[in-house]
Amino acid sequence: MKTQNFGYKKLYIDGQLVDAVSGEREDVICPATGEVIAQVAKAGKADAEKALISSQKGFKFWSKLSLEERTVWMLKLRDAILEKEDELRNAMVHEMGKTYAGSEEDILRLTEALEWYPNAMKNMREEQIPDYEGTHTHKMISKPAGVALAYLAWNFPLLNVGYKIGPALASGCSLIIKPSTLAPLSAYMVGEILHSINFPAGVVTILAGSSREVATPMTTSKIPAVITMIGSTQTGQRIIADSTTSIKKLGMELGGNAPFIVFEDADLDLALDLAIGLKFGNTGQICVAANRIFVHKSIYDKFLKAYVKRASELKIGFGIKENQDVFMGPLASRDARDRMFELIEDAVSKGATLEYGGKIPEELPEGGNWFQPTIVSGTTTEMKLFREEIFGPVAGVMPFDTDDEVLELANDTEFGLASYIFTNNNKRIERFTEDLEFGEIQINGVKYAIYLPHGGFKNSGLGHDCSHLALEDYLVKKRVTSAL
């Protein structure tokens, strides 16, 4: 199994590709082989300070450009990314283990965001407020908030960039992107693309480093007006606490614990197809993954048998372009793989049954973080599989009897991002749409798109990614009142 070496990648600060002030570099490890596939400049506190000052200047310039001028630059970046599409997709396969086919979504969402958000910004209308006494006119206008920080997860390296760079740039904000140190390669390559097209200095910055040396100094700084992130709830809570040195706008897409509810009248084949895709796609490393699968007791045995069969037929491997039939790659880290064993051991010790998987595939390289698609039946509320976001290819399945029972189980979580129900009963759909405590209710199917709002309740976050609602994270409102 051969890997590609991508060489050394520099930080992108103030429009330039630069080494870290300390000169430090960090290896990027391929999770399929354990081999070093690149080195990146490892930012420190001095680099973070440079990024903040540069972004202040970048904001002053960018926010004064017309939307039409900003659009020209954003489309120029989109076109340059599409020219490098194959290289960027190959980098994602190597840095975090997703399949080449799976990497298409990252490129699509990134380039869509650069095109869609200028139009969304153009379509924003000033809000006119009536004056009941007829003595004044009133309107609300939107202005860019300032410097924005974006802390990004590794599971969709460029999709996550797209979700932030689109609305930030369209609104007139400058943006500092801190990708995860686990998978920074493709984001650094975007920095190279920005440099190659002479994108205005300081408008976009890309750097990765430790939380202590980079994230904490930037979060506690009074320069940022916006902090946005995609990551775990624990990280989000820490960033919120650190941000209180000044009043900042916050937008956060955090952890998920999605219920996937299959009722007795569901289209079983459809539910099975999506239970495979939403659980094992991207090796389960998706915030909206089907985390807890509830199946009505009348079809439970039939569903479980078919689910095990389909999971056992999935091909695991290094999903490079030549291996188009690979469905599932490795987990992104060894710690993530070890956690799958812990979750299964906890469930089985509390009475669950391991139906399939739970092992490291023998035919794949020892250096990779491989794990079989795994199904555990008979999960209960006391198990970690029920309580925690799994973020891996382990599915916990449990039967239910009544609508009341499954609704209570579905809502029994601190998270509230995505949820899925499969039924043809309209009254039931109406009830669950009203009573499920999740930011997204997907009925008899699933769809995500740049124009569809993506956000959660409870500990799953603040604000929205995607859609026109994402722009609100980067805008402040002015009321303008004129006497008649």
Report which residue type is found at 367.
Answer: G
Give the tens place of pLDDT for each residue, 292-334.
999 999 999 999 999 999 999 999 999 999 998 999 999 999 9
Nearest to 228 by CA among 160, 317, 156: 160
In this prediction, residues 10-16 reach a mean pLDDT of 98
pLDDT score of 1 more than 70:
no
Lookup: tokens for 94: 């190597």
Residue 337 corresponds to which tokens in the numbers above? 């793989």
Give the pLDDT band (50/70/90) at residue 2. Answer: confident
Of the two residues 179 and 324, the one the predictor is more confident about is 179
Average pLDDT for the chain: 97
Residue 415 identity: F
Task: Answer whether residue 275 shows pLDDT above 90.
Answer: yes
10 Å Cβ neighbour count for 442? Answer: 19
* pLDDT value at residue 363: 85
Specify the pLDDT at position 365: 83
- The total of other beta-carbon atoms located within 10 Å of residue 197's CB is 12
Whole-model pTM?
0.96
Rounded to whole angstroms, the Cα distance separating 181 from 175 reads: 18
% pLDDT > 70, the chain: 100
Instruction: List, in order, residues 6 or more apart from 242 with CB less than 8 Å away.
Output: 215, 216, 219, 220
Looking at the annotation, which residues are catalytic? Answer: 253
Residue 3 pLDDT: 87
Q: How far apart are CA 124 and CA 183, in angstroms?
A: 35
Percentage of the chain exceeding pLDDT 90: 97
Tell me what pLDDT residue 355 has: 98
Q: What is the pLDDT of residues 211-230, one digit of tens each?
A: 999 999 999 999 999 999 99
Tokens 């990708």 locate to 179
Question: Confidence class of residue 258 from pLDDT cuts 50, 70 and 90?
Answer: very high
The pair of structure tokens assigned to 423 is 């039924």
- At residue 13, φ and ψ (nearest 5 deg) are -135, 130
Q: In whole angstroms, what is the distance from residue 484 CA to residue 481 CA?
A: 10
- The C-alpha atoms of residue 183 and residue 94 are separated, in whole angstroms, by 9
pLDDT at 160 over 90: yes
Per-residue pLDDT reduced to its tens digit, 341-398: 999 999 999 999 999 999 999 888 889 999 999 999 999 999 999 999 999 999 999 9
Sheet holding 249-253, edge to edge: 16-18, 11-13, 204-206, 174-178, 147-151, 226-230, 249-253, 461-462
